[in-house]
Chains A and B, each alone.
Chain A
Amino acid sequence: MDPFTSEVRHIWNVDNYRLLWDTSAYHSIAFRTIGIAAAVTLADAILAFPLGYFMARIAGGRSRAFVFVAVLLPLWSSYLIRVYIWRLILNHDGVLNWTLQKVGLPAANIGYTNWAVWLIFTYIWLPFMVLPVYGALERVPDSFLEASRDLGAGGWTTFRRVVLPLALPGVIAGSIFTFSLTLGDYITPLLAGGASSQFIGNVVYDSIGTQQTPFAAAFAAVPLVVMGVYLLIARRLGAFEAL
């Protein structure tokens, strides 16, 4: 940036990356973003796996179709609206505290914290995990499970040694979505997070229209690199076939 004209000068150097490397505030923002993205992915996997299993192997045709639409539809209702409704729920005079009070529990004031950001991301991206997990589980042939049982494996062993390895590409495929989408978001932290919920995206967002844009571009390279590495690992694990 030119200090006199305050116009952005185009000079090829690594100053922006050096600033990123040297400032600890940016480190904690990067780690928070990546950490919450990982926590969201984990929570979604835990919520989605039994549901995917239910859809693939337990539900009959009609209830499967019903659950499928029930999972898919929220995905299409407006993203902003879904963030907004959670703000109303988590507010101190919202549904959550009212319900807790009715059953005699202390109020949970998690509105505008990192917990709220984590919960809302988990909610919003959940369908992205359910669909590929269901797809992967549906492709596990019944005969594999029968073979496993014939060979003397118990339910748990069959699950651990047969179902889980076959379903893993589906989980990884889902995690690409949940992880990448959380990594690149700034709306939820902005609307539902607190003062210490800044994401990489928020720094970029704040820089628009200022002279900080080149630095913001450097910061945006962080999720880009993280996703690049993540995709390479995912391809190794065979997740692309499960997409």
Chain B
Amino acid sequence: METRATRVALTIWSALVVLFLWIPLALIMLYAFNKSNVESWPITSFSTHWFHAAWTAEVRTALWLSVRVGLIATGIALALGSMAAFGVARFRFFGRESISFLLVLPIALPGIVTAIALNSAFVAGNITLSTWTIVTGHATFCVVVVYNNVLARLRRSSPSLLEASQDLGADGWQTFRFVIWPVLSGALVAGGLLAFALSFDEVIVTYFTAGAQNTLPLLIFGYIRLGQQLPVVNVIAFAMILLTAIPVLLAQRLVRDTGVTVRGAAAAAQAQQA
């Protein structure tokens, strides 16, 4: 329908935008092999030396904290998010609209608002900032991701499936095991992977809810801000780009197979920064 010229122009534009997105990522992968510790271009000599040098105790501690926080926050999000989605999808009750609005709100709020709100709440409640306050902060946006994924799935699955299962004599557990679980498992895995990826990369809220500890993003933030250890940052960047690609591609596959909408993907991605 579009003229040939339009099609060509749109194709070229799209190729340029994709290049704009990817050239910086390709560059950081190259910098990881920079032998010099001065990050200037062009890179004069290459080495894999920094890959050993980056595995310091500081990096290991931060990585381990990030993994723990991510796993716990994802666990909380899976439990609370799927239950909330069930409640909102299945029952009509007073305040239902408000609850679904309040659940989604953290991803529409500017990150600094969530951050200062949590920080003020912890300080006012005399709660010492610790691993658990970081987990609490991360759970606020991880819950949304799981909630959105599960809700989208429940809305598309027909309630008559449950009625049919009951009519055929299945008890509550059997209905859950053989009807609900097969329908939901894809959404839960996809939601869980996305939630973990979000938590693993979060820095805006984490800075305000962490005590003395460093998660991996906080450690990198410190390095970049002070201009220290930049070769180490390059190597971590290299590893993180490769490692985050794996769960995302996996989740992408699951989402495609199970048909979660653009809304789910965008909202999940949004929550990353919220």
* Residues of chain A whose beta carbon lies under 8 Å from any beta carbon of chain B: 47-48, 50-51, 53-55, 57-59, 67, 69-89, 91, 93-95, 98, 123, 126-128, 131-132, 134-135, 142, 145-146, 149, 155, 173, 176-177, 180-181, 183-187, 190-191, 200-201, 204-205, 208, 213, 216-217, 220, 223-224, 227, 231, 243
Q: Would you call A86 and B24 a contact (CB within 8 A)?
A: yes
| Distance from A47 Cβ to chain B, minimum over Cβ atoms (Å) | 5
A134 to B261 CA separation, bound complex (whole angstroms): 12
A205 to B20 CA separation, bound complex (whole angstroms): 30
Complex: chain A residue closest to B273, CB-CB? A181
Complex: chain B residue closest to A243, CB-CB? B263
Provide 7 A-B residue pairs closer than 8 Å at the C-beta atoms, listed in order of the A residue. A50-B9, A75-B269, A77-B245, A78-B240, A80-B221, A81-B28, A123-B24
B119 interfacial contact with A, CB 8 Å: yes
Q: Would you call B220 and A131 a contact (CB within 8 A)?
A: no
Q: Would you call A184 and B113 a contact (CB within 8 A)?
A: yes
B203 touches which one: A54, A187, A200, A227 (CB < 8 A)?
A: A187
Q: Would you call A223 and B113 a contact (CB within 8 A)?
A: yes
Q: Would you call A85 and B266 a contact (CB within 8 A)?
A: no
B116 touches which one: A47, A85, A132, A216 (CB < 8 A)?
A: A216
Q: Would you call A184 and B262 a contact (CB within 8 A)?
A: no
B123 interfacial contact with A, CB 8 Å: yes
Chain B residues near A181: list those with CB within 8 A. 110-111, 270, 273-274
A81 to B11 CA separation, bound complex (whole angstroms): 29
Q: Would you call B2 and A69 a contact (CB within 8 A)?
A: no
Q: Would you call B112 and A54 a contact (CB within 8 A)?
A: no
Q: Would you call B272 and A79 a contact (CB within 8 A)?
A: yes
Which of B39-47, B55-63, B169-177 lies at the binding interface?
A: B39-47
Chain B residues near A146: list those with CB within 8 A. 1
Q: A74-B21, A155-B2 are in contact. Are A187 and B116 (CB under 8 A)?
A: no
Q: A78-B240, A80-B221 are in contact. Are A132 and B266 (CB under 8 A)?
A: yes
B265 touches which one: A93, A94, A98, A131 (CB < 8 A)?
A: A131
Tell me the chain B residues, 193-238 only, with Cβ under 8 Å from chain A.
197, 201, 203-204, 207-208, 217, 220-221, 224-225, 233, 236-237
| Distance from B9 Cβ to chain A, minimum over Cβ atoms (Å) | 8
Q: Would you call B112 and A220 a contact (CB within 8 A)?
A: yes
A186 to B249 CA separation, bound complex (whole angstroms): 29
A145 to B6 CA separation, bound complex (whole angstroms): 15
Tell me the chain B residues, 25-57 only, with Cβ under 8 Å from chain A.
25, 27-28, 31, 39-42
B155 interfacial contact with A, CB 8 Å: no
Closest 3 CB pairs between A and B? A184-B110, A135-B262, A93-B40
Chain A residues near B203: list those with CB within 8 A. 79-80, 187
Dominant SS among interface residues on chain B: helix
A81 touches which one: B1, B111, B220 (CB < 8 A)?
A: B220
B126 interfacial contact with A, CB 8 Å: no
Q: Would you call A47 and B17 a contact (CB within 8 A)?
A: yes
A47 to B14 CA separation, bound complex (whole angstroms): 9
Complex: chain B residue closest to A48, CB-CB? B17
A191 to B225 CA separation, bound complex (whole angstroms): 6
Q: Would you call A78 and B244 a contact (CB within 8 A)?
A: yes
A204 to B258 CA separation, bound complex (whole angstroms): 42
Among A69, A85, A87, A142: residue with most chain B CB under 10 A: A85
A155 touches which one: B3, B25, B201 (CB < 8 A)?
A: B3
A98 to B42 CA separation, bound complex (whole angstroms): 8
Q: Would you call B248 and A78 a contact (CB within 8 A)?
A: no
Q: A54-B10, A184-B110 are in contact. Are A80 and B220 (CB under 8 A)?
A: yes
B64 interfacial contact with A, CB 8 Å: no
Q: Would you call A58 and B10 a contact (CB within 8 A)?
A: yes
Among A72, A81, A184: residue with most chain B CB under 10 A: A81
Complex: chain A residue closest to B40, CB-CB? A93
Q: Would you call A71 and B220 a contact (CB within 8 A)?
A: no
| Distance from A168 Cβ to chain B, minimum over Cβ atoms (Å) | 16
B10 touches which one: A50, A77, A132, A208 (CB < 8 A)?
A: A50
Chain A residues near B197: list those with CB within 8 A. 76
6 additional contacts (CB under 8 A) given A78-B240, A85-B27, A126-B17: A71-B18, A79-B217, A84-B220, A180-B108, A201-B204, A243-B263
Chain B residues near A227: list those with CB within 8 A. 108-110
Q: A81-B28, A184-B110 are in contact. Are A67 and B14 (CB under 8 A)?
A: yes
Chain B residues near A180: list those with CB within 8 A. 108-110
Tell me the chain B residues, 97-139 only, with Cβ under 8 Å from chain A.
108-117, 119-120, 123
A224 to B110 CA separation, bound complex (whole angstroms): 7
A139 to B204 CA separation, bound complex (whole angstroms): 35
Chain A residues near B22: list those with CB within 8 A. 70, 74
| Distance from B105 Cβ to chain A, minimum over Cβ atoms (Å) | 10
Chain B residues near A80: list those with CB within 8 A. 201, 203, 217, 220-221, 224
